[in-house]
């Protein structure tokens, strides 16, 4: 199994061990600094910590931790140029599997400009992107994302994450992959399964988005086991549990 979106910097080694023992072989950790950052140097140091420390911590517990880095909309108050320069280096050295998570939260001018620039970097470097959609005003913000995205990057290079029943109709016909976040206060495993049941398994990825907020490190295996219990076909379950992610991220 692959958990396609988590925040390893906010979690313990015990969580990594639980994930591995529950059948998660690989996870993708994304950049997100939940506190106000006074300058870009702190963010750069934090992103390097993810690359250098968190991957090592996860490996100690059997978990193969892949990395996606970028500027989360929450951190868009900084001067982004230093991070953009680092992105080119990380991509060239193949240290990251995607730029992410990026996206929009409050639709500020700085958020939008940083989002567009990161999409342009992805286009230039042929990178994948993981795009955040917020809890509040999800439909309104998603509409802006869907307007901006194809102007800067091919949709088949993007995952639009944290999709739920309220917005899945807005994105199901786009070329993007779609992330289902099974997490307390976001979506339970039954809502995720209802989406898969209605729209099929080809376009979706599963993730826990475990972070500093209420999270369940085992939400992906719990969802997969529920699919098995309900009698879904093995080839369908494998697609959403791992194969879609392996193909999209070239894992």
**Cα 208 from Cα 44, distance rounded (Å):** 25
Average pLDDT, the chain: 96
189-214 mean pLDDT: 96
**Cα 133 from Cα 143, distance rounded (Å):** 10
> In sequence order, what are the residues at sequence separation of 6 or more whose Cβ sits closer than 8 angstroms to the Cβ of residue 41?
82
120-148 mean pLDDT: 97
Domains in the chain, please, with CATH? 2-249 (3.20.20.140)
> In sequence order, what are the residues at sequence separation of 6 or more whose Cβ sits closer than 8 angstroms to the Cβ of residue 44?
82, 83, 86
């342009």: which residue's tokens? 120
pLDDT in tens, 57-92: 999 999 999 999 999 999 999 999 999 999 999 999
Confidence at residue 37, expressed as pLDDT on a 0 to 100 scale: 82
């Amino acid at each position: 199994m692959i958990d396609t979106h988590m925040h390893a910097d906010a979690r313990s080694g015990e969580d990594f061990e639980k994930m591995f023992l529950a059948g998660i072989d690989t996870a993708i950790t994304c950049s997100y600094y939940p506190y106000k950052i006074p300058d870009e140097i702190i963010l750069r140091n934090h992103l390097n910590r993810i690359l250098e420390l968190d991957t090592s911590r996860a490996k100690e517990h059997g978990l193969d931790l892949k990395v996606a880095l970028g500027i989360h909309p929450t951190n868009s108050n900084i001067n982004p140029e230093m991070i953009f320069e680092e992105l080119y280096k990380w991509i060239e050295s193949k240290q990251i599997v995607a730029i992410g998570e990026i996206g929009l939260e409050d639709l500020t001018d700085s958020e939008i400009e940083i989002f567009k620039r990161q999409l342009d970097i992805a286009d230039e470097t042929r990178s994948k992107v993981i795009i955040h959609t917020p809890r509040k005003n999800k439909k309104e913000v998603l509409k802006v994302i869907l307007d901006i995205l194809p102007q800067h990057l091919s949709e088949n290079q993007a995952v639009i994450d944290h999709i739920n029943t309220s917005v899945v109709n807005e994105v199901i016909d786009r070329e993007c992959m779609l992330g289902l976040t099974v997490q307390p206060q976001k979506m339970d495993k039954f809502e995720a399964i209802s989406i898969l049941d209605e729209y099929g398994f080809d376009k979706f990825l599963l993730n826990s988005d475990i972070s500093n907020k209420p999270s369940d490190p085992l939400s992906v295996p719990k969802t997969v086991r529920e699919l098995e219990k309900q009698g879904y076909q093995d080839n369908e379950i494998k697609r959403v549990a791992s194969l879609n992610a392996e193909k999209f991220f070239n894992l």
